Chains A and B, each alone.
Chain A
Amino acid sequence: MKAAVIVFPGTNRERDMIAALTASMGRPPAVVWHRETELPDFDLIVLPGGFSYGDYLRTGAMAARAPVMATVIERARRGVPVLGVCNGFQILTEAGLLPGALLPNACLTFVCRDVHLRVETAESPFTAGYSAGQVIRVPVAHHAGSYFADPDTLDALEGEGRVAFRYCRPSGELADDANPNGSARHIAGIFNETRSVLGMMPHPENLAEPAHGGTDGRALFDGLVEALS
């Protein structure tokens, strides 16, 4: 499996993502700078977390229009799997590869702690390493992670099985006190229509090895390697 991690000015979570991919793939992914427009073939493209362009104008807005993104969008439309984590999720919504938008956290603070997620479906290359209904622990670290979309879009996402993860209590129960940012319907991650693009606010790459204090995130990457190799 050949993977690429795209780096923009202000991206700062690429190293954790590269470490997680390397551990699961057995070799490091390529690192691609935002100005590259010619990309070799990849089986997976990853948009990592950080503060691309300083979150200027809107989070992810300018990264979504960077030169490399025309190629990423074209590849995504051809079915190449794309994973966006945190700022990557914001970039995917700004690029129109996923519906909706990420708003400032309802609580107004930057939230940096572990949360629990309920895996809503295992029917995707990203969640094949989990089972539907499984509860996992993953850290979040964001200021603008509140997922928003109009009710028709939310209904379509749910109806088409495109909600990937929801914030939940350790028991798997959905509740406002388990939702760190006020996301609509407790949505933490969503797929595109073919489930080949996943955007998620939490950081699976940050709970992927024993030194992190947990390994719940590792199965996302192991599952991807198995599905895409």
Chain B
Amino acid sequence: MKARVHITLKPGVLDPQGKAVRRALGSLGFAGVNDVRQGRYLELDLDERDPERARAAVDEMCAKLLANTVIESYTIEIGE
């Protein structure tokens, strides 16, 4: 079972890396980019075949390690 996790900074958390990317886009001539926020994407390959159990396991992985819930939120997609 595949799981895809998107981890993003919570609103209100300063993202200087995102700001740097926005400036770089501006330097390249892309206009109208008001904001960029950079996150993290993880792909997991699990033995678990039941989607509900897989989702619960990945949720626990996010809460315990993959995301810092003080500053990050996450979404999980289960399946191909």
Contact residues of A with B, CB < 8 Å?
57-58, 61-62, 65, 93-94, 99-101, 103-108, 146, 148-150, 182
Give the complex CA separation of A148 and B13 in angstroms: 8
Contact A148 B71 (CB under 8 A): yes
B65: nearest chain-A partner, CB-CB: A65
Residues 1-22 of B, flagged 1 when their CB comes within 8 A of A and 0 if not, give 0000000000011101100100
Contact A103 B71 (CB under 8 A): yes
Q: Which residues of A contact B12 (CB under 8 A)?
A: 150
Give the complex CA separation of A93 and B70 in angstroms: 9
Count B-side interface residues using an 8 Å CB cutoff: 12
Give the complex CA separation of A99 and B16 in angstroms: 21
Q: Which residues of A contact B54 (CB under 8 A)?
A: none
A105: nearest chain-B partner, CB-CB: B16
Known contacts: A93-B70, A101-B71, A148-B71. The answer to whether A106 contacts B14 by CB under 8 A is yes
A155 shortest CB reach to chain B, Å = 15
A8 shortest CB reach to chain B, Å = 15
| B66 close to A (CB within 8 Å) | yes
A59: nearest chain-B partner, CB-CB: B68
A100: nearest chain-B partner, CB-CB: B70
Contact B66 A57 (CB under 8 A): yes
